[in-house]
A and B are shown apart, each in its own frame.
Chain A
Amino acid sequence: MARTKSNRRQQLEHVALVPVDWLEERSGFVGAIKYFLFRKVPHDTNWFHTLGSATLTAFIVQTVTGVILAFYYKPSPNEAYDSIQMITNDLTLGWLVRGMHRWGASVFIILLFLHMGRVFLFGAYKYPRELNWLLGVLLLVLAMLEGFTGYLLPWDQTAYWATVVGINLNATAPFLGPFIADFLRGGQEIGTNTLSIFYSMHMLLIPGGLIALITLHVYLVIRLGVSSPPWSSDPAGMERTEVVTAKRGLVEPRPRGNGAAADEVVRRQPEP
């Protein structure tokens, strides 16, 4: 009995594994995913460490709902308000998707700040993760720009005048301010171009930047590991090391005396 079950299980596993092996042999994706999912983390990570993935989830929700909203939204001054009304009142479940996008935007920003607070209070921005903090700051700026550009799109009185004030705030910046304002408006006054400029930035330009930066951000998290809480007995990060690459010419690395590979990480010899 047990033997037949074992045989059947073997057959099943074989059927399941053949396509996985096929994929792994040609791409290495399976190993990469395993490496990502089963990498080591400090033993006392806690719920605060989930804020980063929560922010990422909020961003994914914004992306998906935003793409669906773009099916029906019309970014022209004469049609924008009516198309929003249609999405909200006429289309099946349109109110839900618009609501998810509308409230999810706030959730995204709130989670960003909570995640940033966690990183700050845990000291997780310190060596070797300074670069990831900087990427996070850029992500925060882009997320705020998403909020600013998205706010105009409903094209109602609140959206219009909030954007008038927001753009004019930019105009008061010294030296470049008036130029930034003209660029954002597509002219000296909010007009026919402003809405499509904001739509394009909200839909294409800034999300592209966000996705690229999020990729780098997560890559660095995987490379550097999750930091342990300040009270942990685990080390917070790697030991301090010296990277050889920076000391070599970038164009054509040459082997040094000990023949170390170009990207090898070696420890500095203690001073005598």
Chain B
Amino acid sequence: MADELERPEETSETHEHEDPGAHLPPPTIWPFAFAGAVALILVGLIVSTWAAVVGIVLAVIFGFLWIRDVTRDVRAAPEPEPVVAPPPLTVEEGEVGEPERYPRSKFLEGATLGLGAVIGGIVTVPALGFAVAPAFVGQEDPDVDLGPMDSYPEGEWRITTFTADPEKGDVTRRTAYIRYNGLLNEVPSYTIISNRCVHLGCPTQPQGPPGEEQTVETSVAPVTLIPTQPSGFGCPCHGGAYDTEGNRTAGPPVRALDRYEYSIINGSLWLGELYSVGEVEGEGADAVAVRYPATDPGVHVDGFEQVLYPITP
């Protein structure tokens, strides 16, 4: 290897014409085909799953051909000298027969690096944990008192705006659509739908004229109620539309509107945890849906696409 290398001044003439593109991969058409296959995948994701599958297969094939082309020289070249960096502790290998030496300088070098790594880890790991973990731990909102049950007459919608966590203040003001469905098996039934659009999280609007706003004092924080009789809910941002059960009727949303659990405590309606549903069947008190953990807007909870989100926080 060393014999191939010479100082620059000893080879003053240029060599690029004699050895053109020694390190350039040979020209190949496959990147273009690969890009086409990727485009087919993207189009297929919108238009047809089968087109996407075909695109994936083509991308794998063309990608393989591309790699095969660009590595042809390397694979055809004679066995190159291995360029593995010698491990630090065996650099001082002696001549044949001589015992392996382990000088103090090597030990000190390794000890310094190792100690430095340990110290760095002791500092970095907790810092990183603090940077990331609070976003995922202890995020539950407390239950919210929404006022006495008779603030919600049977069969009528109320646009209810409440403070999810009074300690955090107005930044946690949220809105839900609440309808009392009457008794089901002698237990009060409510439909409580979050107003957060499940496309990208804009606030949906009820599609119907709003009535007069009223404020209800509760044991936690005041709640604002606006009566309305909507034909459905619509999102102003990108045109998502839902019926009164929260099922998507038009636009880009990927599932039905999220819902809230609820409980009755001392004659008051209390809001519980938020949860996601795929699709709601039936209406009012008879509505049936599969319950999923609350997920971000735009995340599929059912159907083929849920494989894209195997775990969610």
Contacts and interface: CB of A to CB of B under 8 A. Distances in A.
Do the two chains belong together in a single complex? yes
A165 B202 contact: yes
Which 3 pairs from chain A and chain B are nearest by CB? A257-B2, A171-B296, A172-B298
Contact of A182 (B6, B18, B135, B298): B135
Contacts of B19: 268, 270-271
A207 B36 CA distance: 37
A269 B6 contact: yes
* Main secondary structure on B side of the interface with A: loop
Nearest to B91: A252
Interface residues on B, range: 35 or more
A17 interface: no
A179 B313 contact: yes
Contacts of B172: 189, 191
Contacts of A13: none
With a 10 A CB-CB cut-off, give which of B7, B23, B237, B296 has the most chain A CB atoms: B296
A83 B158 CA distance: 35
B296 A168 contact: yes
Nearest to A205: B131
Interface residues of A, number: 49
B237 A165 contact: yes
Interface in B151-176: 164-165, 168-172, 174
Interface in B274-313: 294-299, 308-310, 312-313
Given A77-B169, A251-B85, A269-B11, 4 more contacts: A239-B14, A258-B2, A267-B15, A268-B15
Contacts of A185: 135
Given A177-B296, A267-B11, A256 B5 contact: yes
B201 A186 contact: no
Contacts of A260: 5, 7
A129 to B, nearest CB: 15
B7 A266 contact: yes
Interface string B8-23: 1001001110110011
Contacts of A179: 136, 312-313
Interface string A232-268: 0000000110101011011110001110100011111
B134 interface: yes
Contacts, number: 133
A188 interface: yes
26 contacts: A78-B170, A161-B237, A165-B202, A168-B200, A168-B297, A169-B200, A169-B298, A171-B299, A172-B200, A174-B309, A175-B309, A178-B299, A179-B313, A187-B135, A189-B174, A239-B14, A244-B5, A250-B85, A251-B85, A264-B7, A266-B5, A266-B7, A266-B8, A267-B15, A268-B4, A271-B19
B83 interface: yes
A164 to B, nearest CB: 5
A158 to B, nearest CB: 12
Interface in B91-144: 91, 132, 134-136, 139
Contacts of B136: 179, 182
Contacts of B7: 258, 260, 264, 266
A171 to B, nearest CB: 4
A249 B2 CA distance: 14
B297 A171 contact: yes
A162 to B, nearest CB: 10
A257 B171 contact: no
A191 B85 CA distance: 50
Contact of A168 (B83, B201, B313): B201
Given A260-B5, A270-B15, A188 B139 contact: yes
